Chains A and B, each alone.
Chain A
Amino acid sequence: MGRLESEVWSPSIPRKLYIFASHLSHSNVMALKVLLKSIKTDEIAVWEYTNNPNEAAAILIDADSKEGALQLEEWVRKKNYQVLIAFSNRAVAFPEGVLVLPRPLRSAELFPLLQQASRRFLHILQSLQDQPDIAFCPSLQQDLADQKATKVASVLTRPRRVLEILHGNRNKILKVADRSMRTVFFDTEKHYYYTVDLVRTEIENLLTSTIENVQTKEIDRRQLETETQSLKAQDLDPLLWAVALAISTDGQLFHSLSFSESYRLNRWPDLKKLGSNALHLKFAAMLRQECTISYMADVAKISIDEAVSFINACYSLNYLERQETSVVSLQARTQKTPANADKISLFSRIRRRLGI
């Protein structure tokens, strides 16, 4: 395969670029597709619609919807390479660098905006190519993009924590040592950890530190048995749960989680062991069906950060499944009939009587 430099855009050849739509209504997506076909080719790029955000050069987000606005914030925070376009009529200042396409969707506004997006994307692309290690453009060269994606992700996003490394190595045994070579053994298959060197708070600190600060090595079960002969196995789940909640107070989702996805529990967290509160019970009950993070916060009437914490904690313990967000089913849940007041009243009386 030739290097990306040989594929660099030349002003004389319009380049095919892709646009992805996020949180747009079905009718607006249809309208976008029609408009893209009808817009005449400009000298810089030809735009086509894609269902894959990773191959998109631009992302059009309905920023007037709550979930869309959250998604936009997340993408802005991640500083990815795509050009972000807010589809909005709100008189608010969007973050720097975000283009704005006013409603309704019309070719008169869309065409100049896409020209602007083309220039901006190719400028971003050029600056990435100037850094030899992160030459990357999925919409131009997908196979090269696949090779480089991991590298770019690590450059553009925050460093991963040891906790997240454990999640990515489930069913393995990891020996993790801090800078002072104090060691903890994490048996993620059997949900135990062993240490002689560190106390609980120090292990919590180890789990929240970034991977650059530790040495990690995978070992086999025989090695574990040899090295932990005289050590007591301790329950790993409450530790991971507590750490995940503690580090999620900034409202940031862990790596690979997203506000635009919906989630569902694959099993009920053992909240008796992990330490429960009423909110966690409520979140768990909600997550028996797929729901988004903003839906959880709305129903529980609390800040989105609380929902993020719970999602991160469930993710750490592999309780979570991603769901293809079905707009229809989510709308159905949101628009369900008003709560049965008689039942709600009965349940709260029972709670009062039992003191729960």
Chain B
Amino acid sequence: MKQIKFIFTGPPGAGKTTAIAAISEFPPVSTDVLSTDDLAKTKEKTTVAMDFGQITLDNGLKIGLYGTPGQERFRFMWEILVQGGLGLIVLIDNRRPDPLKDLEIYLDNFSEFIDKTDAVIGITCSDVKETPTLDDYQDVLQKRGQVFPVFSVDAREKEDVLFLLNALLTCLELAA
């Protein structure tokens, strides 16, 4: 599990698997099962262990792209997955009942990892549901005394996922 990797996290349906697929050099290996709870209304399958994608660098080094399972009941997996992680990409689905709360949950749950590395936040489906706005997310961060890059993204668009990674890498480079 100590492969160098980027971690994609966020609630179910936020687009983690899709974002990994957008940049991975092979279709992500997913451990999906049929959704059985309320989630089944919006998402046919959900990730229970992890998603795995990869990019290979020019020196042969393989960088993992790991997606955590979204549901909190699988949080025991999160601590295992972050080992060797370079940074965190948090994806938040703007259509969910309380996406601002979702953001806080994921920042809290990964706070130890974020302290050691860094994080960037992508808000998905803001074209489907306009509120909360990016300003609302920024307000939440400001109250927490945190400044993270926050952008509205379409997880299906490679450019958008790269934009998030670019911001994350810039933060990591300055801290290195």
A residues with CB within 8 A of B: 191, 264-268, 270-273, 278, 281-282, 284-286, 288, 299, 339-340, 343-344, 346-347, 349-356
Contact = CB atoms under 8 A, between A and B. Distances in A.
10 A-B pairs with least C-beta separation:
A267-B138, A343-B176, A356-B166, A349-B57, A281-B170, A272-B151, A340-B176, A285-B171, A288-B147, A285-B174
A355 B148 CA distance: 23
A266 B147 contact: yes
Contacts of B170: 278, 281-282, 284-285
Measured as residues with beta carbon below 8 angstroms from the partner, the interface class of chain B is 20 to 34
B98 interface: no
26 contacts: A266-B142, A266-B147, A271-B149, A272-B163, A282-B170, A284-B149, A285-B173, A285-B174, A286-B174, A339-B176, A343-B173, A343-B176, A344-B176, A346-B61, A347-B172, A350-B165, A350-B169, A351-B169, A352-B57, A352-B58, A353-B55, A353-B58, A354-B23, A354-B162, A354-B165, A356-B169
B125 interface: no
Nearest to A339: B176
Contacts of B151: 270-272
Contacts of A285: 167, 170-171, 173-174
Given A267-B141, A268-B147, A281-B167, A353 B152 contact: no
Contacts of A356: 162, 165-166, 169
Contacts of B42: none
B150 A268 contact: yes
Contacts of B171: 285, 288
A210 B1 CA distance: 61
Interface of B: 4, 23, 55-59, 61, 63, 134-135, 138, 141-142, 147-153, 162-163, 165-167, 169-174, 176
By secondary structure, the A interface counts as helix
A191 B135 CA distance: 10
B72 to A, nearest CB: 26
Given A272-B163, A339-B176, A355-B162, A350 B147 contact: no
B56 A353 contact: yes
Contacts of A270: 134, 150-152
Please indicate which of the listed interface residues B148, B153, B174 has the most CB atoms of chain A within 10 Å of its own CB. B174
Contacts of B57: 346, 349-350, 352-353
B138 A268 contact: yes
A288 B114 CA distance: 14
Given A350-B57, A356-B169, A268 B148 contact: yes
Contacts of A271: 149, 151, 167
Contacts of B63: 350, 353
